[in-house]
């Protein structure tokens, strides 16, 4: 007698931006019944065509979901969505927050939801739109162990590496560290490209020579060619990265640590955002050197 596979948990996904849409698509393709909601409804159309169902509000999305997934832009967006969703969330359900927000907000949301019997984990991701589409993101998790176990079937669809780094809030702290590294590596790649171009070196040959060596980095491998050409395919918006650096700066200030490289890159990003580059990829840092 054949055994039937258990029905995957019903998921709701709110926040269908550059990362959220491909993450939700992978969950749908993996067989999860999926409800979606987004501030701009048109963003949901590809998912609805693939079999997802539309929810008119966060509360409606949460009402029939075993697990509510969020991938939102900032603290205010997460707070607003969960204030609405809490009316629909059932005791025993789980919230997985893929957003990048402050650790304090994550802890506050976990406390508020816990009073209604709802579990919350913070699970910010890194890997850009490429990783989101491929399902190879690195997921940085802050959670109780039991809640992480419940979340794993979802996390393993969107991510290739799932790292449990401590209680709620630890995932956000780790993401702040990640964004400090991103700041330095992207800025270094942009600066190196600018110097090489001023020296009139053969850029294709130079980058091919540098990538396998000690100077190699994800930014050098995946974004330096675009920096040379002045072409910045969107992986992660500059304005969002600047928001993340502010979280890192506040975290460092709280433990009396100066971040001189991060502070310099943040200042560069402020200038580029002022010039209208905020919606472009972080690799637009190359434009800082072009005046």
- d(CA 189, CA 197) in angstroms, rounded, equals 12
Is residue 279 helix, strand or coil?
Answer: coil
- d(CA 227, CA 131) in angstroms, rounded, equals 20
What is the distance of C-alpha 152 from the center of its chain?
A: 17
CB-based burial, 49-70: b 16+ in 10 Å, e otherwise: eeebeebeebbbbbbebbbbbb
In the set 175, 223, 241, 242, the catalytic residue is 175
What is the 8-class DSSP label of residue 289? G
Question: What stretches of the chain adopt beta strand conformation (E)?
Answer: 11-14, 34-37, 53-54, 67-70, 94-97, 119-122, 125-126, 137-141, 159-164
* Spatial contact of 110 and 79, defined as CB atoms under 8 Å apart: no
**Catalytic residue status for 237:** no
* Spatial contact of 244 and 175, defined as CB atoms under 8 Å apart: yes
If you write DSSP's letter for every residue of 234-271 in order, what string do you get?
Answer: -SSBHHHHHHHHHHHHHHHHHTT---HHHHHHHHHHHH
* Spatial contact of 266 and 246, defined as CB atoms under 8 Å apart: yes
* Spatial contact of 140 and 165, defined as CB atoms under 8 Å apart: yes
Q: Which residues are catalytic?
A: 175
């Amino acid at each position: 007698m054949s055994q039937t596979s258990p029905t995957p948990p019903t998921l709701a996904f709110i926040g269908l931006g550059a990362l959220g849409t491909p993450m939700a698509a992978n969950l749908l393709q993996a067989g999860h019944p999926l409800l979606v909601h987004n501030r701009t409804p048109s963003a949901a159309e590809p998912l609805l065509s693939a079999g997802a169902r539309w929810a008119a509000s966060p509360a409606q999305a949460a009402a029939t979901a075993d697990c509510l997934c969020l991938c939102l832009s900032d603290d205010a967006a997460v707070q607003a969505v969960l204030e609405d969703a809490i009316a629909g969330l059932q005791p025993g359900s789980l919230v997985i927050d893929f957003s990048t927000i402050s650790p304090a907000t994550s802890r506050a949301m976990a406390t508020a939801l816990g009073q209604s019997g709802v579990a919350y984990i913070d699970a910010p991701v890194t890997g850009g739109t490429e990783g989101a589409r491929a399902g190879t993101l690195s997921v940085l998790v802050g959670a109780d162990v039991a809640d992480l176990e419940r979340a794993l079937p979802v996390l393993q669809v969107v991510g290739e590496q799932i790292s449990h780094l401590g209680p709620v809030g630890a995932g956000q702290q780790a993401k702040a560290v990640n964004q400090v590294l991103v700041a330095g590596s992207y800025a270094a790649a942009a600066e190196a490209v600018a110097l090489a171009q001023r020296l009139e070196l053969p850029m294709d040959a130079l980058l091919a020579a540098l990538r396998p060596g000690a100077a190699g980095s994800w930014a050098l491998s995946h974004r330096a060619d675009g920096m040379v050409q002045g072409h910045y395919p969107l992986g992660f918006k500059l304005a969002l990265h600047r928001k993340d650096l502010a979280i890192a700066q506040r975290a460092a200030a709280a433990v009396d640590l100066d971040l001189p490289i991060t502070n310099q890159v943040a200042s560069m990003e402020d200038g580029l955002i002022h010039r209208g580059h905020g919606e472009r990829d972080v690799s637009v840092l190359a434009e800082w050197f072009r005046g």
